[in-house]
Amino acid sequence: MAEVQELEPAEAESEAVIAAPNAKAPRNKKKLAIVGGAVAVLLLAGGGAAYAFMAGGESGHAEAGSDAGAGAGPETFVDVPPMTVNLRSADGTPRFLRVHLMLVPTSADKQEEITQKLPLILDAYQPFLRELRPEDLAGSAAAFRLKEEMLIRANREVGAGSVADVLIQDLVQQ
C-alpha cells in the first residue's frame, strides 16, 4: 500500500509558492486579454488610417477643399523659379546650391496673392540660403528642415496661414 507522508513546514511553504502562480493565472489572463484587445484596436485603427491615406487620399482632399476652403488642387501650386546660391564653406572652396520649390496655397483664392508677392518671398529666401553651409544640407533631416524654414519665410511675407506646404522639386549641392 501507499505510504502517507507528512510534509514538514518548509516543504509546505514551497508547495504553496508553487501553487500561488496558478492562483493568479486568471488575473494575468485578464490583463493579457485587455492588453491584447488594446493592441488589436490600435492595429485596426492604424490600418484604417493607412488605407484612407493611400486609397482615399485623392477624393478626400477634393472634398475637404470644397467644404473647408483648404487643400489646394494641383492647378493651384505656385512655381518658385529655380535659385542658385553660393554656400558658405569653411575652407573657402566654392560650393553652390540649386533649389527649385513649389508653394501650396491653403486655398485656391490665395494663389493670386502668393504669385503677386513672389518677389518678396524670393527676397526672404536668398539670405537664408546663402547662409547655409554644406554640413547643414547633409543627412536625411536636411530636406525637412529646409522645407520648414521656407514655409515659415513664405508665410511671413504673404500672411500667416496662406501657404500650406513647400514642395522641393529639385535640390542639388555642388
Is residue 105 within 8 A of residue 155, CB to CB? The reply is no
- Amino acid identity for residue 61 in this structure: H
Cell numbers that stand for 49 in this block: 488610417
Residue 12 has pLDDT above 80, yes or no: no
Kindly state whether residues 150 and 97 are assigned to the same domain. yes
- Helix and strand numbers, DSSP H then E, in the chain: 5, 3
Cell numbers that stand for 5 in this block: 507522508
Q: What is the CATH number of the domain that holds 130?
A: 3.30.479
Residue 15 has pLDDT above 90, yes or no: no
pLDDT at 74: 53
pLDDT (tens digit, 9 = 90+) per residue, 33-80? Answer: 787 777 776 677 666 666 666 665 444 444 444 444 445 455 689 999
pTM, to two decimals: 0.56
Kindly state whether residues 157 and 98 are assigned to the same domain. yes
Alpha helices in 3-141 (DSSP H): 9-54, 57-68, 110-116, 118-130
CA dist., res. 69 & res. 14, Å (int):
72
pLDDT at 147: 92
pLDDT (tens digit, 9 = 90+) per residue, 89-134? Answer: 888 888 899 999 999 999 888 898 999 999 999 999 999 998 888 8
pLDDT at 146: 92
Give the mean pLDDT of 16-24: 52
Kindly state whether residues 85 and 46 are assigned to the same domain. no
Kindly state whether residues 108 and 140 are assigned to the same domain. yes
Residue 16 has pLDDT above 80, yes or no: no
pLDDT at 62: 41
Kindly state whether residues 19 and 88 are assigned to the same domain. no
Kindly state whether residues 88 and 145 are assigned to the same domain. yes
154 φ, ψ to 5°?
Answer: -65, -45
Q: Is 81 among the domain residues?
A: yes
Kindly state whether residues 85 and 121 are assigned to the same domain. yes
Kindly state whether residues 98 and 156 are assigned to the same domain. yes
Q: Give the range of the structural domain holding residue 30, as residue numbers without chain letter.
A: 8-55
What is the domain count for the chain? 2
Kindly state whether residues 168 and 87 are assigned to the same domain. yes
Kindly state whether residues 124 and 152 are assigned to the same domain. yes
The three-class DSSP label of residue 108 is coil
